[in-house]
Amino acid sequence: MSIKQSIKNITPEPLWNELRGVKEQISGGKARRIQSRRFMRWVSRNSSTDKARIETRLAFGIHRLEKGLSHVQFRDGFGRGVLAEISRRMSLLEKADSEYRKNPLYLQGLAVLHEYQRRHEADGYDLSSIKSMFPEHIWNAACKYRLEDHAVKAGSFMMNASSKIDNLNKGFVELAEHRYSVREYSSDAVSQKVLDKVYAVAMKTPSVCNRQATRVYQITDSEKIERALKIQGGFGGYAMPPVLLLVTSDIRAFMNSNERNEPFVDGGLFSMSLLYALEAYGLAACPLNAMFSLSQDQATRKLLNIPDYEMPIMYITVGGFPNSVPVCCSVRRSPESIVTRI
């Protein structure tokens, strides 16, 4: 018999359970601390000079510029702050990556800048002050950027509602390849019947031990939507969506500290099912982060009456596809660049 088993045999059960609880608290606290330290050790910082972490901030900048380019109401001269950011990260990437001319993020930077230049030239807008924010060779490379030469796209394109009519009959690969985040919606009301079908599909999402911890708040009160998105802060400049979903995870479905990340895993999987089901039923959608500060978390809980035992996972805006709408390209890395075969 093991020493542990011998001690267990002579220890009263309530005391044994108490001791197990204390052990779990200590090891859980350690695991959380190590996880948090690892996260903070490796996140991309403003001062980061290595390739991976410069790429993170360049990708963030490119996406912000793409969002500006994909607004229905295009605003000439927008994005000076983000353009300065892109200029800085591209210059840093030149130093961090000797192969920067072939770097997909660097090429995306040129491509998105190219679209920015082209759209402003078409409007006759003087870009000289923006040009001065870039090293000359980057600005000129962007001017000359041709998709045919590099096969890396970035920026925005127009999506038509007509391409979505037959979505329910499409196979999964085609459906997934054509799903994009859409941030502006038609004026049509969203049918509750269709939303209920969407939820029914998403219920088939796998979850740890089938515990099904995910909860969904469907918000249609326009005032609440506006207040929630104001607190969220990542949907500025767009008209309010007719429907806003908040996906949360019920922590009561989990049992110990080792499961602390599972609410996000299960909630994330469920959210992706929702996104595909929305796409299949011909509804436009955009996931929005719930990376709340403490005050955002408190304000959101109060506004939407979210109980303490639930964790916000993400929002999803939902609406009908407008006849045509500009969307961000959001180019992906190649599979070879992320898959390690062991």
Ligand X SMILES: Cc1cc2nc3c(=O)[nH]c(=O)nc-3n(C[C@H](O)[C@H](O)[C@H](O)COP(=O)(O)O)c2cc1C
Using CB under 6 A, list all residues that contact ligand X.
63, 67, 180-181, 183, 234-235, 286-289, 314, 328, 330
Residue whose Cβ sits closest to ligand X:
234
Q: Is residue 284 a contact partner of residue 185, using CB atoms and an 8 Å limit?
A: yes
Closest separation between CB of residue 235 and ligand X, Å? 6
Nearer to ligand X, 34 or 43 (CB): 43
Nearer to ligand X, 53 or 63 (CB): 63
> Could you tell me which of 170, 157, 158, 76 has the C-alpha nearest to residue 111?
157
Closest separation between CB of residue 328 and ligand X, Å? 6
Report the alpha-carbon distance of residue 37 to residue 337 in Å, rounded.
27
Nearer to ligand X, 134 or 276 (CB): 276
H-type alpha helices, 74-166:
80-96, 104-122, 128-131, 136-144, 147-150
Closest separation between CB of residue 339 and ligand X, Å? 19
Closest separation between CB of residue 284 and ligand X, Å? 11
What does the buried/exposed string (b/e) look like for 194-205 if buried means 16 or more CB atoms within 10 Å of the residue's CB?
A: ebeebeeebeeb
Nearer to ligand X, 141 or 313 (CB): 313
Closest separation between CB of residue 199 and ligand X, Å? 19
Report the alpha-carbon distance of residue 286 to residue 330 in Å, rounded.
13
Q: Which residue has the tokens 């326009």?
A: 222
Nearer to ligand X, 15 or 173 (CB): 173
Nearer to ligand X, 132 or 334 (CB): 334
Q: Is residue 79 a contact partner of residue 68, using CB atoms and an 8 Å limit?
A: yes
> Could you tell me which of 114, 107, 39, 54 has the C-alpha nearest to residue 85?
54
Q: Where are the beta strands (DSSP E) in 220-282?
A: 243-250
Long-range CB pairs of 147-152 (<8 Å, 24+ gap) are 147/111, 150/107, 150/110, 150/111, 152/104, 152/107, 152/108, 152/111, 152/331
Neighbours of 293 (CB within 10 A): 10
Nearer to ligand X, 21 or 234 (CB): 234
Closest separation between CB of residue 72 and ligand X, Å? 14
Closest separation between CB of residue 70 and ligand X, Å? 10
Nearer to ligand X, 314 or 325 (CB): 314
Report the alpha-carbon distance of residue 166 to residue 168 in Å, rounded.
6
Closest separation between CB of residue 180 and ligand X, Å? 4
